[in-house]
């Protein structure tokens, strides 16, 4: 019997092959770096919760234990508490989604829903369709099931339906297991899918018999423009995901999936296998928060905070970058997508950026196939406006230095003259209209 | 675009094949029945939380939001909070397990750990080894990965090492992906693995290079006899699972896995893909409970409650059943395993039992292969002693009626004479010493 500690992996070679496909989270890897003093983090998508009324939340927490303790502390059913599901139904009704609590299942975070979608639908090699770029957590969740992920390019109105249709034609009916989209203020681009395209997307999903997954964490965080109805409000067969993370607190890990009942039965089975049920404590906490505080007034305050930060970032970008840099103009949510000239590698640039005190998510993490090399995701949700301005100034310095260096090399003949195609990049062509240069 | 609700499963045929292997939870299916008035539930393993000091817990809940709100409500790291991991390290040290927080990862329930073990190790067709019978939630969790589950029979000292060795010899080195055991007050039998067998099990796991998974939810719930050291305290390569569910509150969904670091890195990847992190709210709630209340004094009270209920069940069984019925004698935990004569089918009997007002878990749910037909799991953790006595009396009536009917049929020549082998049953022979007849 060995008494010494293992310092190597004694089980190397016994893990399942799927482990080789699991993606590391760049955001996680960055957390350590970002916690260094002087680094301003534009990498993480953590909501700002400093506007929450802690006194009221504390009172909710106290009363829920006194009044509902035996239930808040006990196991619950695998669908989630009926009280919480009814609250969510009311919220959804405000967005035109008319569902009953038995068409909903509660989850410990919407990413758990993505994992269960993978589990319910995917065999290794199955095809799924996402936006390109897409949410890196979704890529992580799906990657455990070893799918073939096809990314459809976006422009300023979201996923391009002409390209989607080409893809679907190529794959044929039921040629993909599902289409995954974040229609509102997409992560990572901040772009919103237009109403016209939402309608077309629903048509295509029926024409090709492919389930449509609508992930909507940011839908209530619009800072300008008109609300666009969710696809779930137009088509009951849509699988819809929502969460408390951005309208209350991510620390609860509480989200929901709304879907046709037969599909939900599959998800319920996954849920039972994976963990029996969602934390009752979190559910009751959310029930109290959404019924005993003026959460909508709080949310308005929080939106004002994000709005100001978005403006700070967009202003700073316009001040700091020249016409060779492009970025998106989000009307809500948390993120701006920024693309540098094609000779940039934002992975490689990261160490220098961290040294100068700014962190971002390198764009390659938002694609399954190595694209996104010269792009990055910038989050404006977490840092204060003055910090955001400072962070963009630092980023601009890093970028300028690299550009100067590149031009010097070019002038010295140390680099081949860039060809037009290389300078724009094939992956760069299509989503060009996604970006603004120096303003809207 | 369809406007009517779907009433059938439009996606039938598009689900992954693994969904056909996912097991329904009998316990879940029973919940609806058990919630009927007049049914006494001996089916569920819900801890009794009525002894928790709700005033103190409410004060913990209030202060944690006021003092740690910005952290309790925010995302956390995927390993879990260092504060919580340090508290768990102290608890484990009391059981001789000497680990540091970086050898631990927090989970939303230990079943999530079982799911991740499946994910990290299992390809369809891989073999794993469990006790027979075993925890039905483990069978559910593993079944998603389509393994070949080999169950090794038990006696009153737990998994039989002679049979395990036979199995391992047959499978060869690394012939199974892991061995899963619940050594203390096993679910569903209540049996504890002896110290001698723990040592042997560790030896065998090294000899055959097969990871050993020690699931220990009930270790602190011993009502008589001497504590047996966990295998993790004897061998650092053991993968150890623990939970707050039975020492505080299952509503938190908070558990831990302790394992060699390279293995934990794999689990961390799974965790990132499946949901980013465990509820910060639950972690901080537990931290406050375990540091600001006299939780050990509370646990002693809770143990007294369970002890009394166990005695009530064992007494009632001895009073109600004749020598043809056998059951286990748990020294801790939640469960008694009861076996009826082999002509019983506890699945079929369930509807009659529910009609008479008593619920149990049919034994077949605790095997992967159809065994356990004439057995059942009885939980004494949740109902009060007088209810337990009444429930056993009802169960005894149901059983007597069936026995009378069987004898009447037999006397009338309507059934073939039972052969000895059929009466005992092959699956019934080996674990015979697991049971007591009319007392210890």
E strand or H helix that includes residue B139: helix B136-143
User: CB A19 to CB B266 under 8 A?
Assistant: yes
User: CB A272 to CB B140 under 8 A?
Assistant: yes
Measured distance between the N- and C-terminal CA atoms of chain A, rounded to whole angstroms: 68
User: What's the pLDDT tens digit per position in A178-195?
Assistant: 999 999 999 999 999 999
Strands A361-362 and A358-359: unpaired
User: CB A266 to CB B108 under 8 A?
Assistant: no
CA of B272: which chain A residue's CA is closest?
A: A25
Q: Please give the class, per CATH, of domain B17-51+298-413+421-434.
A: alpha beta
Q: Give start-end residues of each CATH 3.40.640.10 domain in chain B.
A: 54-292
Cα A230 off chain centre by: 17
**Total Cβ atoms within 10 A of residue B404:** 10
Q: Give start-end residues of each CATH 3.90.1150.10 domain in chain B.
A: 17-51+298-413+421-434
User: What's the pLDDT tens digit per position in A257-268?
Assistant: 999 999 898 888
Please report where in the chains the tokens 């010899």 appear, as a residue. Answer: B169
Find, among B98, B88, B189, B178, the residue nearest to B136 by Cα: B189
Q: Which CATH number fits domain B54-292: 3.40.640.10, 3.30.559.30, 3.90.660.10, 3.90.380.10?
A: 3.40.640.10
Chain A residues whose beta carbon lies within 8 Å of the beta carbon of residue B273: 22-23, 111, 115, 140-141, 143-144
B270 three-class SS = helix
Measure the CA–CA gap between B232 and B219, rounded to whole angstroms: 12
Residue A428 confidence class, pLDDT cut points 50, 70, 90: very low
Predicted local confidence at residue A275, as pLDDT: 62
Peptide bond into A131 cis (omega under 30): no
User: CB A6 to CB B236 under 8 A?
Assistant: yes
User: What's the pLDDT tens digit per position in A85-120?
Assistant: 999 999 999 999 999 999 999 998 998 899 989 989
Please report where in the chains the tokens 């002509």 appear, as a residue. Answer: B343
Measure the CA–CA gap between A53 and A298, rounded to whole angstroms: 8
Predicted local confidence at residue B424, as pLDDT: 30
- The greatest distance separating any two alpha carbons of chain B, rounded to the nearest whole angstrom, comes to 76
B312 three-class SS = helix
Evaluate if residue A18 carries a pLDDT over 50.
yes
Predicted local confidence at residue B23, as pLDDT: 66
List the pLDDT tens digit at each of the 440 positions of chain B.
444 444 567 778 778 888 777 766 555 566 566 667 789 999 988 899 999 999 999 999 999 999 999 999 998 888 899 999 999 999 999 999 999 999 999 998 998 899 989 989 999 999 999 999 999 999 989 998 999 999 999 999 999 999 999 999 999 999 999 999 999 999 999 999 999 999 999 999 999 999 999 999 999 999 999 999 999 999 999 999 999 999 999 999 999 999 999 989 888 888 777 665 789 999 999 999 999 999 999 999 999 999 999 999 999 999 999 999 999 999 999 999 999 999 999 999 998 999 999 999 999 999 999 999 999 999 999 999 999 999 999 999 999 999 999 999 888 888 776 654 433 333 333 344 455 544 43
- Asked if A20 and A356 count as a contact pair (C-beta separation under 8 A), the reply is no
User: CB B272 to CB A76 under 8 A?
Assistant: no
User: CB A285 to CB B281 under 8 A?
Assistant: yes
Strands B335-339 and B326-327: antiparallel
Chain A residues whose beta carbon lies within 8 Å of the beta carbon of residue B74: 46-47, 49, 249-251
CA of B143: which chain A residue's CA is closest?
A: A273
User: What's the pLDDT tens digit per position in A349-398?
Assistant: 998 999 999 999 999 999 999 999 999 999 999 999 999 999 999 999 99
Predicted local confidence at residue B190, as pLDDT: 97
Find, among A85, A69, A287, A263, the residue nearest to B51 by Cα: A69
Residue B277 phi, psi (nearest 5): -165, 165
Strands A158-159 and B179-181: unpaired
B433 to A281, A312, B327: CA distances (angstroms): 42, 74, 10
B49, B59, B202 ranked by CB distance to A73: nearest: B49
ipTM rounded to 2 decimals: 0.89
User: CB B11 to CB A70 under 8 A?
Assistant: no
Residue A261 distance to chain B (closest CA, Å): 8
The crossing angle, in degrees rounded to 10, of helices B54-72 and A54-72 is 130
Q: For residue B269, what are its two tokens?
A: 């990847």
Predicted local confidence at residue A233, as pLDDT: 98
Residue A361 phi, psi (nearest 5): -100, 115
For the beta sheet containing A127-132, the strands, ordered from the edge strand earlier in sequence to the opposite edge, are A104-107, A255-258, A239-243, A212-215, A179-181, A127-132, A148-155, A158-159
Query: What rounded mean pLDDT belongs to chain A?
Result: 89
- Asked if A57 and B73 count as a contact pair (C-beta separation under 8 A), the reply is yes
Side-chain-side CA neighbours of residue B219 (13 Å)? 25
The crossing angle, in degrees rounded to 10, of helices B261-275 and B110-121 is 110
Evaluate if residue A212 carries a pLDDT over 80.
yes
User: CB A61 to CB B59 under 8 A?
Assistant: no
Q: Tell me the β-bridge partners of A159.
A: A154
Chain A residues whose beta carbon lies within 8 Å of the beta carbon of residue B46: 74-75
CATH number of the A17-51+298-412+421-434 domain: 3.90.1150.10
Peptide bond into A133 cis (omega under 30): yes
Residue B131 distance to chain A (closest CA, Å): 18
User: CB B46 to CB A74 under 8 A?
Assistant: yes
A364 three-class SS = helix
- Asked if B26 and B136 count as a contact pair (C-beta separation under 8 A), the reply is yes
Residue B95 distance to chain A (closest CA, Å): 17
Please report where in the chains the tokens 């009953």 appear, as a residue. Answer: A100
Predicted local confidence at residue B272, as pLDDT: 76
pLDDT higher at B24 or A39: A39
DSSP letter assigned to residue A90: H
CA of B239: which chain A residue's CA is closest?
A: A11
Chain B residues whose beta carbon lies within 8 Å of the beta carbon of residue A16: 119-123, 126, 145
């Amino acid at each position: 019997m060995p008494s010494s500690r293992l310092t190597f992996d004694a089980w190397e070679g016994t893990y399942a092959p799927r482990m080789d496909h699991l993606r590391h989270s760049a955001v996680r890897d960055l957390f350590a770096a970002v916690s260094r003093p002087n680094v301003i983090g534009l990498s993480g998508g953590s909501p700002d919760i400093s506007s929450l009324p802690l006194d009221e939340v504390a009172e909710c927490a106290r009363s829920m234990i006194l009044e509902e303790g035996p239930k808040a502390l006990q196991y619950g059913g695998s669908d989630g508490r009926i009280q919480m599901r009814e609250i969510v139904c009311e919220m959804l009704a405000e967005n035109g989604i008319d569902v009953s609590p038995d068409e909903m299942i509660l989850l410990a975070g919407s990413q758990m829903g993505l994992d269960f979608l993978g589990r319910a639908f995917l065999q290794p090699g199955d095809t799924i369709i996402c936006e390109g770029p897409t949410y890196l957590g979704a890529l992580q969740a799906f990657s455990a099931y070893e799918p073939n992920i096809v990314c459809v390019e976006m422009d300023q109105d979201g996923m391009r339906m002409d390209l989607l249709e080409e893809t679907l034609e190529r794959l044929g009916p039921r040629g993909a297991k599902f289409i995954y989209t974040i229609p509102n203020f997409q992560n990572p681009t901040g772009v919103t899918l237009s109403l016209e395209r939402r309608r077309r997307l629903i048509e295509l999903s029926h024409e090709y018999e492919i389930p449509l997954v609508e992930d909507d964490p940011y839908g209530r965080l619009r800072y300008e423009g008109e609300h666009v109805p969710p696809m779930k409000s137009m088509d009951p067969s849509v699988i819809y995901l929502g969460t408390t993370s951005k309208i209350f607190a991510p620390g609860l890990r509480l989200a929901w999936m709304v879907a046709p009942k037969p599909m939900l039965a599959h998800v319920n089975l996954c849920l039972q296998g994976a963990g029996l049920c969602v934390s009752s404590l979190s559910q009751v906490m959310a029930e109290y928060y959404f019924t005993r505080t003026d959460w909508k007034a709080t949310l308005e305050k929080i939106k004002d905070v994000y709005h100001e930060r978005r403006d700070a970032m967009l202003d700073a970008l316009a001040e700091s970058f020249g016409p060779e840099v492009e970025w998106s103009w989000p009307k809500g949510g948390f993120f701006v997508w920024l693309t540098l000239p094609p000779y940039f590698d934002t992975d490689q640039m990261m160490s220098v950026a961290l040294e100068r005190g700014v962190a971002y998510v390198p764009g390659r993490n938002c694609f399954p196939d190595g694209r996104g090399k010269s792009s990055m995701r910038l989050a404006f949700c977490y840092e204060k406006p003055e910090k955001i301005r400072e962070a963009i100034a630092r980023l601009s310095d890093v970028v300028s230095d690299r550009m100067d260096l590149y031009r010097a090399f070019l002038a010295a003949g140390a680099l081949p003259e860039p060809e037009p195609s290389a300078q724009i990049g094939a992956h760069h062509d299509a989503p060009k209209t996604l970006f603004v240069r120096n303003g809207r």
